[in-house]
């Protein structure tokens, strides 16, 4: 059984159909990349999996470890092991990063029947993850993402992911806004989380991220559907040729 199984997914937002019969299957332990032109629906897909109710699923299903994901609230999905690293992380003035992260971690632990971590245990855990992502202490005491630079926000997403240890990691353009060093650090953080038990769905526009996080499968999303699926070489081909040849190919079908 695949970890994530999406069948014939149709999604509309404000009356406009964005996803039009999307199929996708990710096996446990695999890393899938999704590429595709701007506005093709990549973030929509990521947000729908995480449970954003702005998007209306009109047809199809999403199964996560065999469970019907569409019946679950966003927080239940998170507790089941889904994590979305946002393309645009949200700023939350007045809520400290540390408090937020501990509340999240303990909510997930509680759901899974584990003891909540006390302040000491929690701090030990996050110290370790901070080193992994070369995070500055000071960022943790600030409000969630408030006043963070674009790159700091992205790094903070992966830091949260490292702390929460999800089963399915969805990365929505985590590479955009990162400088060369930060890209390497973040990619190392992601790679440290790769395991036979964990799957990843990586949305990106650029090959350079995939040089670090080497995918098992690459998909192209266009016009609300997966129009092509291939090996990691497909990403290289796209980088050279762009998407127009694909559109012609799809139209020719």
Partner 1 sequence: MSQTITEAPAYTSLAGRFCQSDEPQWLQDLRERAQALFAQKGLPDVQDEEWRFTSLRDFAKYEFIQAEPMTPTPAQLQGVPASFGGRRAVIVNGRLVSPLSNLPDATDGVEVLTLEQALTRAGDDVRQHLGQLLPVENLPFAACNLALFPQAIVVRVAAQARITQPLELVFWTVPNAAEPIVSHPRVFVLAEESSSISLIEVHAGTGEIPYFTNPVFEFLLKREARVVHYRVQCDTAKAYHIAASQAIVHANAAYEFFAVNFGARLSRADVRVRLLEPAAEATLYGLYRIDGDQISDLHSVIDHAAPHCPSWEVVKGILEGRSHGVFNGRIIVRPGAQKTDAKQTNKNLLLSRDAVVNANPQLEIYADDVKCTHGATVGHLDDQALFYLRSRGIQEDEARGLLTYAFANDVLRRIDVVSLREWLELSILEVEHLTFDRGLLEVK
Query: Where on the chain is the footprint of ligand ATP (CB under 6 A)?
Result: 13-14, 18, 36, 38-44, 54, 87
- Does the footprint of Mg ion cover residue 40 (CB under 5 A)? no
Distance CA 234, CA 215 (A): 11
Between 85 and 108, whose beta carbon lies closer to Mg ion?
A: 85
Binding region for partner 1 (CB under 8 A): 50-54, 73-75, 77-79, 83-84, 86, 89-96, 98-108, 111, 116, 119, 138, 141-144, 160, 164
Pick one of partner 1, Mg ion, ligand ATP, none as the site partner of residue 38 (Cβ within 5 to 8 A by kind).
ligand ATP
Q: Please tell me whether residue 156 binds Mg ion under the rule CB under 5 A.
A: no
Q: Which is nearer to Mg ion, 52 or 109 (CB)?
A: 52
User: Which residue number places its CB atom closest to Mg ion?
Assistant: 43
Closer residue to ligand ATP, CB minimum distance, 25 or 223: 223
For the CB of residue 200, give the shortest distance to partner 1 in the complex, in Å: 16
Residue with tokens 């998170």: 78
Q: Which is nearer to partner 1, 43 or 243 (CB)?
A: 43
CB of 41 to ligand ATP, least distance (A): 4
List residues binding Mg ion (CB under 5 A). Answer: 42-43, 87
């Amino acid at each position: 059984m695949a970890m994530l199984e999406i069948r014939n997914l149709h999604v509309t937002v404000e009356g406009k159909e964005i996803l039009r019969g999307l199929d996708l299957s990710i096996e446990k332990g695999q890393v899938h990349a999704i590429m595709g032109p701007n506005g093709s629906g990549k973030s929509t897909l990521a947000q729908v999996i995480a449970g954003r109710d702005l998007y209306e699923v009109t047809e199809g299903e999403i199964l996560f470890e065999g469970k019907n994901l569409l019946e679950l609230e966003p927080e239940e999905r998170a507790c089941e092991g889904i994590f979305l690293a946002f393309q645009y992380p949200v700023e939350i003035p007045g809520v400290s990063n540390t408090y937020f992260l501990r509340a999240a971690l303990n909510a997930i632990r509680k759901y899974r029947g584990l003891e909540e971590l006390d302040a000491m245990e929690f701090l030990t855990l996050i110290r370790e993850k901070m080193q992994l992502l070369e995070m500055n202490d000071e960022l943790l005491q600030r409000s969630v993402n408030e006043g963070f630079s674009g790159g700091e926000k992205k790094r903070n997403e992966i830091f949260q992911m490292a702390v929460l240890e999800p089963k399915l990691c969805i990365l929505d353009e985590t590479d955009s806004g990162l400088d060369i060093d930060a890209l390497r650090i973040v990619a190392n953080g992601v790679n440290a989380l790769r395991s036979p038990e964990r799957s990843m769905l990586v949305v990106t526009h650029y090959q350079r991220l995939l040089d670090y996080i080497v995918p098992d499968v690459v998909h192209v999303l266009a016009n609300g559907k997966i129009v092509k699926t291939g090996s990691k070489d497909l990403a290289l081909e796209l980088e050279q040729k762009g998407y127009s040849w694909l559109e012609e190919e799809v139209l020719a079908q």
